[in-house]
C-alpha cells in the first residue's frame, strides 16, 4: 500500500481514537472546570474544544478543495483567536459542543476514506512558499487533534 494511503488510514484511526477518548472523558469535568482557563491567558477546555470545531470546519473546506481544484491548493490561514472569540465557546454548553465536534469529525473521516490515492498527492502551497501534500495535511490534522485532546483531558 503506498505511503500516503497508509498515512490516511492511520489518520482516520487516530481521529476515531480521539473521538472515543474525548467522548469518554469530557463528561467527567464540571461546567466550571470546562469554563476555567487552563492557565492565565490560555483557553478553557470548552474554548479548546471550540477551536477543534473551527479546525474541523476549516479543514473540511481544505480537504474538499484540495481534491477539486486543478492546480495546487493555496492554503488560506484563519485567525484562530478571533474564531474562538466569535464562537463564544467558553459560555456554550459542553453538551452541545462535544456532539458537534464528534459529528463533524465523523464526516471528515468519511471524506478522508473516499479520497483517491492520486488526490492524496495533490499539492498544498502555503503563503511562505512551503509545500506539502493533501496526505500530509490530513496527517497533520489528526496530530493537531491529538495534541488538543490531551490538553483537554490532562489539563
* Distance between CA atoms of residues 55 and 78, nearest Å: 9
> What does pTM read for this prediction?
0.93
Q: Which of 8-12, 40-44, 128-132 has the lowest mean pLDDT?
A: 8-12
Residue 71 φ/ψ region, left for φ over 0, alpha for ψ in the -120 to 50 degree band, beta for the rest: beta
Dist. CA 27–CA 49, nearest whole Å = 13
- State the pLDDT at residue 150: 96
Asked whether 122 and 133 are in contact (CB, 8 A), the reply is yes
pLDDT attached to residue 69: 87
Short-list 62, 43, 52, CA closest to 19: 52
* pLDDT tier at 2, thresholds 50, 70, 90: very low
Contacts of 65 (CB under 8 A, 6+ apart): 73
pLDDT mean over 107-120: 95
Q: Quick check: 63 and 115 in contact, CB under 8 A? A: yes
Contact indicator for 45, 97 with CB cutoff of 8 Å: no
Q: Quote the CA–CA distance of 79 and 84 in Å, as a whole number.
A: 9
What pLDDT, on the 0 to 100 scale, is given for residue 1? 37
pLDDT at 70: 83
State the average pLDDT over residues 36-43.
96
- Considering the domain 3-154, what is its CATH architecture? Up-down Bundle (1.20)
pLDDT tens figures, 100-112: 999 999 999 999 9
Mean pLDDT over the full length of the chain: 93
pLDDT digits (tens, 9 = 90+) for 44-59: 999 999 999 999 999 9
Alpha helices in the chain (DSSP H): 3-25, 31-35, 45-68, 80-87, 94-114, 117-120, 134-154
Amino acid at each position: 500500500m503506498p505511503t500516503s494511503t497508509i498515512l490516511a488510514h492511520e489518520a482516520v484511526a487516530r481521529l476515531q481514537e480521539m473521538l472515543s477518548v474525548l467522548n469518554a472523558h469530557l463528561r467527567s469535568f464540571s461546567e466550571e472546570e470546562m469554563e476555567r482557563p487552563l492557565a492565565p491567558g490560555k483557553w478553557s477546555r470548552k474554548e479548546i474544544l471550540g477551536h477543534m470545531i473551527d479546525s474541523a470546519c476549516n479543514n473540511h473546506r481544505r480537504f474538499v478543495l484540495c481534491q477539486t481544484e486543478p492546480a495546487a491548493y493555496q492554503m488560506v490561514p484563519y485567525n484562530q483567536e478571533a474564531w474562538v472569540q466569535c464562537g463564544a465557546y467558553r459560555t456554550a454548553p459542553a453538551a452541545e459542543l462535544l456532539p458537534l465536534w464528534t459529528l463533524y469529525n465523523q464526516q471528515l473521516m468519511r471524506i478522508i476514506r473516499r479520497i483517491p490515492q492520486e488526490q492524496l498527492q495533490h499539492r498544498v502551497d502555503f503563503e511562505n512558499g512551503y509545500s506539502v501534500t493533501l496526505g500530509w495535511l490530513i496527517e497533520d490534522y489528526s496530530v493537531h487533534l491529538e495534541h488538543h485532546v490531551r490538553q483537554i483531558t490532562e489539563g
